Chains A and B, each alone.
Chain A
Amino acid sequence: MTAILTLDGLTKRYGQVTAVDNVSLSIDANEFFSLIGPSGCGKTTTLRSVAGLESAQQGCIQMAGRTVFDAATRRDLPPNKRPIGMVFQSYAVWPHMNIYENIGYPLKVRGLPRDAIKARVQRVLDMLGMGNLGARMPSQLSGGQQQRVALGRALAIEPSLLLLDEPLSNLDAKLRESMRAELKQVQRDTGLPILYVTHDQDEALAMSDRIGVMSAGVLHQIGTPTEVYTRPATRFVLDFIGTVSYLPCEVLKWEDESVKIRWGEAGEASAMLGVNQDTPKHGPASLAVRPEHVLLTPVADAIQPGLARGRVKIRAYLGDAWEYHVRVGECLIRVRTDSAQALEEGSEVAVGVRQGYVVNADDAGQERVLFS
């Protein structure tokens, strides 16, 4: 597949702050790509650099086979010369134009004849299910409808690339869900590549073909939702995507392809998955576990190897599942079990781990460990 968008070594500084730090990525045709990370990590700045609203200090940006930005040659196409459509977090629907004029504006600016504009706008309105709202003013629309207008305006010119900056964050939870599906549908229908910025991981995991995880301007990992969730490349990604709790453990043996650790009361477990650590570490480390990978059993008389003794501190009923906070030694870990298994608060349990990640004490890296 050919790349529609390629960023190479993009770096943007605001005074002392490096908002985007040497970011490289590429987006293929048809791809839904999400940038995700905590607030202030540089997602918006990256997106705005792609749009041409910010000029980076280093790196270059290629779009649909053209170089639109290159710090080295000082080439910097303004936003109006880039083949993009953009949707802003604040909708940015122009209050002095009606819906029809809002969506038709990008076409009008490009000098399309009136008839063509009319036909195209009507098609976009129909696609968004707002066929009869063209004459309304933005102040007469709900938030969700305004966001749809913003989307329609970005789609009107059939751009090479669609840029979206947290387009759903101003909507309430219900509406957000339905807009999520709608957006995905629009993307399937149009086959438009999308660069999507969000700090909501559910949104990113549900919609994206690939995800880029950012922190403090640095792009930590790029991968499919499954890859990012199950094989986090860095400690940050592990912490940020999904939930993890930490248990102390000790690395006994770390060889090319496997790692052997000890954790819990008397347990010893070995891992089989690929170890790509350069310098294997021995000694104390942490075992990171996700809530759904912990097994709880009402305490047996004897704790088996590889299990630990714990006590249920808090439990919460979530409908489809139970969530427990279980104290194990000094640590509190979060556990999710299916709703059939109800354990009383305060009861003693045996804690087992199906799957986890070994994190070195110095935080330098981590590796996934599967227990048999």
Chain B
Amino acid sequence: MSQRITPQHKVSEPPALLRWWLDYRRVMLLLLTLFIAITIVYPLYQVFWRSLMVDGEWSLANYSAVFLRPSNYMALWNTLWVSVLATGLAVLIGTLAAFVVQRTDVPHKALLSVLLVLPFAIPPLFSAIGWVQLAGPVGLFTQWWRELFGAPPPWNIYSPGGIIFVLAVTNYPFVFITVAGALARMDSSLEEAARTSGVGPLRIMKDITLPLVRPAILGGALLAFVSSIDNFGIPAVLGMRAQFYVLTTRIYEALTIPNMPLATAMSVLLVLVAIVCLVAFRRLEGSRGQYAVISGKSVTPNVIRLGKARPWVLAALYLTLVVIVLMPVFALVLTSLLRFWGADLSADNFTLRHYIAVLNQSGARRGIINSLILAPAAATIIVIVSAMIAYLNVKARQRGAGLLDGIATVPFALPGSVIGVSMILAWSNPAFGPTLYGTLWILLAGYIMRYMAFGLQSTRSTLQQIHDSLEEAAWTSGASRLRTIRDITLPLLRPGMLAGWVLIFISAFNELTVSVLIWTTGAETIGVWIFLMQDSGFTGRAAALAVLTLPVILLLYLFTQWLTKLEARRRERRAGKPDA
């Protein structure tokens, strides 16, 4: 059948070793590894290594220093209990809201779902300031309470309780989104089975539905918790005045002294807290096993009829939304427009002088410009680098690219303060290269480290959805590898890159936790200026600057929402047809 064939012509080709090195994948991997090593591995290494060094000797003295002074170890303890309680409250709000929206016949579901996740678009620092203006000593709520009851209110916003409350109303959307999603995708035949055996709707909620969404609740809680221990703005505005410190604010204090070794050791402790909690959550999740009941389709879920209570539930929901979402923003806007806080709301008390003052302050102007440079720069660099890593990992299946992806994702789990400290350690007197400390570059480096995971996540998941055969079809059509990337892969990857870019832009634009540790004169950001002005008593100006940035953030936020909707609709449209 077959005849033996000897090759007729030999083509001269470069020797194997040279070809091996010239392969573009290896060259790319090498360059990307270098980039990740410099921006992520080196700073991390600095934190852990330096925390174990005293005067050039191995020592645990930095750690014992943490535990020798109560003010230090109290911060660790405070971080833990404040975050746990704030997460508990966030779980309560988020789960309740998700059940009401998904499993009752409450009207206006679409609008409620949008409003309930709006806190995502409001930077925590802004809510903290808003809440001071609402519930602080001269806040609106405080005044109303006094008029109604003639006595000082039973709360104090400058307290652990205040921090817990504001953290909770900032972070509950994490829980709401995961739980509402799980409820929407849950196979309702499980609930129906219970209903046909004569079990009441409330009982079904408790015995069937709630246990089934437990993993989702835990997942949302984990995100809320990590976000709580990471937060700087809220405990800084609400806690430092009352001498109540958590790790992030303590690290900030240690750096203003400055006591670098202490800040470093506390950073490592913060990492340990994060890791311990991650493991604990995994345990909780794993102990009950994974439920594989959340399938793609949804028929008629078990819905509780609210009956007469329906308008009341709706009213309560709207009231809650107004209080926890709209009022802080309203207070912020009002603050920026009033001559002073607590002034009567008469026409001659309204003024634009805070805005004028902010815009006349060269530092604040610089902050705005810096943020407008840094956010798009960080977003662009991250998206390009992560698209290349994701391509090597998912498409070219280059060995080592998966590991690189994993390493570059690590900072996602690290609290921002740790990243800030690592930046100072790595770039204020670096072993090689220029000193970045004191320039904008250090902020850029910090943002890249902090948000690398966002870019990787969005590009990776988009690439995974692009079937290999789409590229192979171009290749067998005669297109070279590069041309295939240009004509096929990039256009299909673009939506994912855009989504990642906007997300990083929003996050970096109002970043505070990292920036507040590494800013220097000339290299401030919007977030830093708002914090500094608030911290030194210029609340009106802080509010004015915040109000100036809110539209940018809100618009971009709405843009991302629209993008995800568009993507979902496109996927739905394609769902009927295999693959294309």
Binding site for B on A (CB under 8 A): 6-8, 24-26, 51-53, 60, 62, 67, 70, 72-75, 78-80, 82, 84-86, 88-96, 105-106, 109-110, 138-139, 141-143, 146, 150, 153-154, 157, 163, 170, 222
Q: Is the CB of A146 within 8 A of B577?
A: yes
Question: A93 vs B477: C-alpha distance in the bound complex, in angstroms?
Answer: 12
Residue among B2, B7, B577, B580 with the highest chain A CB neighbour number at 10 A: B580
Q: Is the CB of A60 within 8 A of B7?
A: yes
Q: Is the CB of A60 within 8 A of B469?
A: no
Contacts of B13 in A (CB 8 A): 74-75
Q: Is the CB of B488 within 8 A of A84?
A: no
Contacts of A91 in B (CB 8 A): 578-580
* Least distance between B404 CB and chain A CB atoms (Å): 23
Binding site for A on B (CB under 8 A): 1-5, 7-11, 13, 16, 467, 469-470, 472-481, 483, 487-488, 491-492, 570, 573-574, 577-580
* Least distance between B469 CB and chain A CB atoms (Å): 4
* Least distance between B213 CB and chain A CB atoms (Å): 33
Q: Given A80-B480, A91-B579, are A25 and B2 also a contact pair (CB < 8 Å)? A: yes
Question: A62 vs B9: C-alpha distance in the bound complex, in angstroms?
Answer: 12
Q: Is the CB of A79 within 8 A of B469?
A: no
Q: Given A24-B1, A70-B7, A222-B1, are A170 and B478 also a contact pair (CB < 8 Å)? A: no
Q: Given A67-B9, A73-B10, A139-B580, are A94 and B2 also a contact pair (CB < 8 Å)? A: no
Q: Is the CB of B473 within 8 A of A24?
A: no
Q: Which residue of B lies closest to A163 (CB)?
A: B476
Interface SS majority for chain B = loop
* Least distance between A252 CB and chain B CB atoms (Å): 34
Given contacts A24-B1, A109-B479, 16 further A-B contacts (CB under 8 A): A60-B5, A60-B7, A67-B5, A67-B8, A73-B7, A80-B475, A80-B479, A85-B477, A90-B578, A91-B578, A94-B474, A106-B478, A143-B578, A153-B473, A153-B477, A163-B476
Q: Which of A72, A74, A75, A105 contacts B477 (CB 8 A)?
A: A105
Q: Is the CB of A106 within 8 A of B5?
A: no
Q: Is the CB of B469 within 8 A of A139?
A: no
* Least distance between B579 CB and chain A CB atoms (Å): 4
Q: Is the CB of B577 within 8 A of A139?
A: yes
Q: Which of B3, B475, B570 contacts A79 (CB 8 A)?
A: B475
Q: Which residue of A lies closest to B483 (CB)?
A: A109
Q: Which of B2, B7, B472 contacts A88 (CB 8 A)?
A: B472
Q: Is the CB of B477 within 8 A of A109?
A: yes
Question: A139 vs B11: C-alpha distance in the bound complex, in angstroms?
Answer: 44
Question: A53 vs B577: C-alpha distance in the bound complex, in angstroms?
Answer: 26
* Least distance between B389 CB and chain A CB atoms (Å): 23
Q: Is the CB of A62 within 8 A of B478?
A: no
Q: Which of A53, A62, A67, A139 contacts B476 (CB 8 A)?
A: A53
Q: Is the CB of A90 within 8 A of B579?
A: yes
Q: Is the CB of B470 within 8 A of A94?
A: yes
Q: Which residue of B lies closest to A69 (CB)?
A: B7
* Least distance between B92 CB and chain A CB atoms (Å): 43
Q: Is the CB of A78 within 8 A of B472?
A: no
Contacts of B1 in A (CB 8 A): 24-26, 222
Q: Is the CB of B577 within 8 A of A92?
A: no
Q: Which of B4, B11, B476 contacts A86 (CB 8 A)?
A: B476
Q: Is the CB of A96 within 8 A of B573?
A: no
Q: Is the CB of B9 within 8 A of A86?
A: no
Contacts of A110 in B (CB 8 A): 478
Question: A86 vs B470: C-alpha distance in the bound complex, in angstroms?
Answer: 12
Contacts of B483 in A (CB 8 A): 109
Q: Is the CB of B467 within 8 A of A92?
A: yes
Contacts of A52 in B (CB 8 A): 475-476
* Least distance between B227 CB and chain A CB atoms (Å): 36
Q: Which of A70, A93, A109, A146 contacts B478 (CB 8 A)?
A: A109
Q: Given A70-B7, A143-B577, are A96 and B475 also a contact pair (CB < 8 Å)? A: no
Contacts of B477 in A (CB 8 A): 80, 85, 105-106, 109, 153-154, 157
Q: Is the CB of B5 within 8 A of A6?
A: yes
Contacts of A26 in B (CB 8 A): 1-3
Between A and B, 27 residue pairs with Cβ closer than 8 Å are A6-B3, A24-B1, A60-B7, A67-B8, A74-B16, A79-B475, A80-B476, A80-B478, A86-B472, A90-B469, A90-B578, A91-B578, A92-B469, A92-B470, A92-B472, A92-B473, A93-B473, A94-B473, A95-B574, A95-B580, A96-B491, A109-B479, A110-B478, A146-B577, A146-B580, A154-B477, A157-B478
Q: Which residue of B lies closest to A157 (CB)?
A: B478
Residue among A74, A86, A150 with the highest chain B CB neighbour number at 10 A: A86
Question: A141 vs B573: C-alpha distance in the bound complex, in angstroms?
Answer: 11
Contacts of B570 in A (CB 8 A): 139
Contacts of A163 in B (CB 8 A): 476
Q: Is the CB of A93 within 8 A of B4?
A: no
Contacts of B491 in A (CB 8 A): 96
Contacts of A138 in B (CB 8 A): 580
Q: Is the CB of A24 within 8 A of B487?
A: no
Q: Is the CB of B480 within 8 A of A78?
A: yes
